[in-house]
Structure 1
Amino acid sequence: MHFTVTPSLRFYRRCALAFVLALCPFAASADTTASDEPAIPDTLTWTVPFGVGGGTDVWARFMSHWMAQSLPGTPAIVINNVPGGGSLTGASLFYSRAKDNGEQMLVTSASTQYPAMLKDPRVRFDYDSWTPIVAAPTGGVVYTQPKFGKTTDEILEALRNNPTKFAMQTPTGLEMPVMLAFDMLGLAVEPVFGMRSRGEGRLAFERGEAGVDFQTTSAYFSNVTPLVNDGKAVPLFSLGVMDEDGHIVRDPAFPDLPTFSELYLAREGTSRDDVAYQVFHKFFASGYALQKLLLIPKGVNPDLIARYRQGARTLMSNDDFLAAARKQIGPYKPVVGEVAAKQLAAAMELSDANRQWVIDWLKDRYGVRVLTK
């Protein structure tokens, strides 16, 4: 069949062709934008500088499950445990070996932050070279044996006049702010170092070898609440949580329990300007308000970092994640991106004078020598 193209048809074809050509630059621009967006690697490796089964390892495995689901392509996330040196070995190796291709991240906790703040010579890494993706706060509670009383005033008075023990891991670890809180309240609490975990400290308390103990929120809910219900332990105070203004306020997990800050600031002649309180506040901020951190080298493509942060931010509106996190770490909402970065920078900034105050306090009060760079 012969088909003849009429002049009018030629006109419409020319118009259609012109329309398509006009659209081409926009199409090319869209393709270029899509191709320029950095791809999330198929496999990510999270270095956890602690052994399997510890609190940081459990948090990392919990978060990796949810983060993988919130990222485009659902990448596989591999947990690489590198224990040793109280987390300093793994963190130092990550610092020296991690590439800035976006495939490698590091998970840290208070046990990593504190030595860095004190300039421990074993620290061979620099937090300034890493940027946070997400940070998870936690709370904690100090509790006592029932023999010291039932009310706050009774217990504080008893602990000021009756020396008792507190089973600890290390003088510069997670319990250090708690030990400082005891001193600031004038309590006759003496540390016993060498526990391998907070769980061992709790067992010493249950055996009656320690008069006071401390547990973070998740461990308190699972292991201490039954003791309280059975009349074998009495909660004394919480460490609290940090509000948007940087002040320590009551913990939503323990709204009826006073914070250490409340008890200290209620004492005559005390204020937030006290050096001891400033030191406590710094270590609380880095060890509890930002207790678990997911970090990535700053040299990674900023657009890729932004995609990881967006994945974490998406979780903040995921009801299933929030419900699971509430069971895992308590009613504390993770902090994401630049907010976490600003809080971390402020928390890790310990003045030379305040650092020396901590070193002198540990030496004079407990005979603990802290080496610094």
Structure 2
Amino acid sequence: MTIAKFTRRAVAGMIAAAGLAFPASAEVDFSGKTIEWVIPFSETGGSAKWANFFAPLLSEALPGQPTVVVKFMPGAGSTKGANWFQKEKHKDGTLLFGTSGSTQFPYLLGDPRVRYEYNDWNPVMASGTGGVAYLNAEDGAKFDGSANMLQDVDFIYGSQGATRLDLVPLLAWKMLGMNVEPVFGIKGRGDGRLMFERGEATIDYQTSSGYLKGSAEMVEAGQAVPMMTWGSLDADGNIVRDPTFPEIATFKEVCEATDGCETSGEQWDAWKAFFVAGFPVQKLAFLPAGTPQDVIDTYTKAFEDVVARADFPEISSKRVGKYSVFTGAGAQSALGTATNVPDSAKSYVVNWLKEDYGVELK
């Protein structure tokens, strides 16, 4: 199955499934309770901003209007928190867990630190996002829509790890012939932005929420120059401009303008496969194993009510970007898209990680 066909079918299925509403049980009531929404990253990254955006809206929508508190459990590129959540079982519906592509990719690649199984969890909401790569002002002055003038520059990049969501920008920069040296070990993309702000890194990327909240201010101040987005997908699985950043060219456009970069073949297919797994469905909210169906239905209805708010398109576009949000059966279909890549793409990435970074996945 080609990536385009896979994407088209998956998106169509998610859109159809997202329209299936589940009536919440009248017996579920969270009055006086506190819900902990655990994020396995630091409080400075895009996942934190995503959860902090949805948390008060979810509080209003759940029966009894409980307090929703976002807590952070960073470590090992999010596998620490995911391994912890794997051991949690349903108690009273007051635990929610959020993941991103940096949690999905180690799972996809068979990272030995993974002790979690997505299929054991109950997805109640999923949303897409985008990503923006940007340069410091000095190197940004050399950017002309291609990477041709950047190929002799030595860049430093703060990274969570090569098997995390960072593999999408790292592989993109490699395809562009750029010399980008990652400094591994940061706990979240917000920490990468802080390295950039301090001058310890000279290139960075943020998911849309992180870019809107922090990086866009650096661009406005002339301290950073946007290079490209990863793009978005149309109904046929083609990469088009990100709806949140339509004025910024996609990686595909920059690649086409750069000598030696190809938008076809094994390398491109691998990059696109992981982009599809990591961004159109990038962030997911889960209830733990063993959660009763009435509690799942209650959360599904609450998230559906959030998305149905008249002001949701406006407020979400400013905080997390203009991306699809899936609930219920739509979230389950989205999970399938986010946790599957073709074997050929996986094989290419595994070999690339070993050759370029000495990362062996056994």
* Stretch moving more, 171-180 or 191-200: 191-200
The alignment partner of 2:286 has SS state of: strand
The gaps in structure 2 that reach 5 residues or longer are 1-22
Q: Which of 115, 121, 133 matches 1:124?
A: 115
The alignment partner of 2:269 has SS state of: helix
* Distance in 2 (alpha carbons) for counterparts of 1:89 and 1:67: 25
Verify: 1:308 aligned to 2:299, yes or no.
yes
1:37 CA drift (Å): 5.7
* Counterpart residue type for residue 361 of structure 2: L
Verify: 1:278 aligned to 2:279, yes or no.
no
Q: Of the two structures, which has the highest relative contact order with CA contacts closer than 8 Å and spacing of 6 or more?
A: 2
* Distance in 2 (alpha carbons) for counterparts of 1:46 and 1:35: 20
* Distance in 1 (alpha carbons) for counterparts of 2:92 and 2:312: 28
Deviations for 1:84-110, whole angstroms, at most 9, x for unmatched residues? 433223322322221276443321122
Deviations for 1:133-177, whole angstroms, at most 9, x for unmatched residues? 111222221122344465754651111233333332322223220
The gaps in structure 1 that reach 5 residues or longer are 1-33
Change (3 A) 1:36 1:356: closer
Contact 2:132 2:230 in 1 (8 A): yes
Q: Structure 1-normalised TM-score? A: 0.77
The alignment partner of 1:124 has SS state of: coil
Change (3 A) 1:129 1:188: same
* Distance in 2 (alpha carbons) for counterparts of 1:221 and 1:103: 30
The alignment partner of 1:72 has SS state of: coil
1:160 paired residue number: 151
1:238 paired residue number: 229
The alignment partner of 1:342 has SS state of: helix
1:142 paired residue number: 133
Bigger CA radius of gyration: 1
1:39 paired residue number: 28
Q: Structure 2-normalised TM-score? A: 0.79
2:4 paired residue number: none
* Counterpart residue type for residue 77 of structure 1: V
* Counterpart residue type for residue 371 of structure 1: L
* Distance in 2 (alpha carbons) for counterparts of 1:224 and 1:94: 31
Change (3 A) 1:40 1:245: farther
* Alignment of structure 1 residues 1-373 onto 2, 5 Å: 39-42=28-31, 43=33, 44-52=35-43, 54-79=45-70, 81-99=72-90, 102-148=93-139, 150=141, 153=144, 156-206=147-197, 208-264=199-255, 270-271=262-263, 274-297=265-288, 299-366=290-357, 368-372=358-362
Contact 1:282 1:347 in 2 (8 A): no
The alignment partner of 1:105 has SS state of: strand
1:14 paired residue number: none
The alignment partner of 1:215 has SS state of: strand
* Distance in 2 (alpha carbons) for counterparts of 1:183 and 1:304: 46
* Distance in 2 (alpha carbons) for counterparts of 1:56 and 1:334: 15
* Distance in 1 (alpha carbons) for counterparts of 2:359 and 2:204: 24
Pairwise CA RMSD of aligned residues? 3.1
Contact 2:176 2:261 in 1 (8 A): no
1:19 paired residue number: none
1:294 CA drift (Å): 0.6
* Distance in 1 (alpha carbons) for counterparts of 2:90 and 2:128: 27
Contact 2:46 2:190 in 1 (8 A): no
* Distance in 1 (alpha carbons) for counterparts of 2:307 and 2:253: 30
The alignment partner of 1:122 has SS state of: coil
* Distance in 2 (alpha carbons) for counterparts of 1:53 and 1:206: 13
* Distance in 1 (alpha carbons) for counterparts of 2:100 and 2:342: 21
Change (3 A) 1:56 1:211: closer
1:82 CA drift (Å): 3.9
The number of aligned residues is 337
Contact 2:101 2:283 in 1 (8 A): yes
* Distance in 2 (alpha carbons) for counterparts of 1:258 and 1:343: 26
* Stretch moving more, 123-132 or 216-225: 216-225
1:360 CA drift (Å): 1.3
Change (3 A) 1:132 1:208: same
* Distance in 2 (alpha carbons) for counterparts of 1:63 and 1:369: 35
1:318 CA drift (Å): 0.9
Change (3 A) 1:91 1:163: closer
Q: Which has the higher helix share?
A: 1
